[in-house]
Amino acid sequence: MLLAINANNTNVKFALYDGDKAVGDWRIKTEAGRTADQYVVWLNQLLAMKGLTLKAIDAAIIATVVPQSLFHLNLLCENHLGTKPMVVGDPAVKLGIEVKMDIPMSTVGADRLANAVGGHLTYKRPLIVVDFGTATTFDVVDQGGNYIGGAIAPGIVLSVEILHSATAMLPRIVVERPGRVIGKSTTEAMQSGIFWGYVGLVEGMVKRIAEEFGGPLDVVATGGLAPLFHGNTPVITHLDPDITMRGLVEIYRRNRS
């Protein structure tokens, strides 16, 4: 079975695949200093709850935007799972798409590249993948599945934390759709500014990206807060929480075929 690992700035997600079928997925908070030994104890316990063992894993692929985590994730795979992982961004790992950027492919977020691969695999048309993660990213994929660039904005939770920590009177709030746009309390006002502000960000960015791209694009939302926004703006056409991991599975397949 294939273990796909996506390490971002908030969580490390592990998903185990038997062919195309996900048989389990788990998350752990990202800590750059977490050791391979700590990962394997945690993972072994979760596998056991599904009646699986570490021996079921015979391949691995890693995408990470946290360079400090890569060393320990590599050790996890090599020392405890007995397999050398593929690493997205390694020159030897082929994506099967072009990366049309002005910077080296290795400097583009590995999760953003996996989103492009996973998105084209499913939708087969020009896309914007909006990933509501630690950062809110907009990734543009052309008709051929090639990654042509995008935009990066502060993430929603990050914005909430900055409002709370950098001001004397603003509380920490739960991110949710408020009952009205004009808040009648400080909490309501903050929720309105965050929620509808990000709806406006998404709508404005999608409009401008489509104008510059020169044609219509499907818009796919993913990431932890994507379900909150899907259905609350007509520009988001698909909700796809598994797009990144599906992209990792496909990248592995392309390099093993």
Cα–Cα distance measured from residue 66 to residue 13, given in angstroms and rounded to the nearest whole number: 13
Catalytic position from the list 25, 37, 90, 111: 111
Q: Is 6 annotated as a binding residue?
A: yes
Q: Which pTM value belongs to this model? A: 0.92
Annotated active-site residue 111? The verdict is yes
- pLDDT (0 to 100) of residue 107: 86
Compute CA distances 131 → 107, 222, 233, whole Å.
18, 5, 15
Q: Is 231 annotated as a binding residue?
A: no
Q: Is 8 annotated as a binding residue?
A: yes
Cα–Cα distance measured from residue 89 to residue 64, given in angstroms and rounded to the nearest whole number: 9
Q: Residue 38 CB: number of other CB atoms within 10 A?
A: 14
Is beta strand 147-154 parallel, antiparallel or unpaired with respect to 135-141?
antiparallel
Outline where DSSP puts E strands in 40-170.
59-64, 86-87, 127-132, 135-141, 147-154
Q: Is 11 annotated as a binding residue?
A: yes
- pLDDT (0 to 100) of residue 103: 86
Rg of the chain taking only CA atoms, in angstroms: 19
- pLDDT (0 to 100) of residue 58: 95
- pLDDT (0 to 100) of residue 105: 82
Cα–Cα distance measured from residue 225 to residue 241, given in angstroms and rounded to the nearest whole number: 10
Q: Is 9 annotated as a binding residue?
A: yes
- pLDDT (0 to 100) of residue 257: 67
pLDDT tens for the 257 residues of the chain, in order? 999 999 999 999 999 999 989 999 999 999 988 999 999 999 999 999 999 999 999 999 999 999 999 999 999 999 999 999 999 999 999 999 999 999 888 889 999 999 999 999 999 999 999 999 989 999 999 999 999 999 999 999 999 999 999 998 899 999 999 999 999 999 999 999 999 999 999 999 999 999 999 999 999 999 999 999 999 999 999 999 999 999 999 999 999 96
Q: Is 232 annotated as a binding residue?
A: no
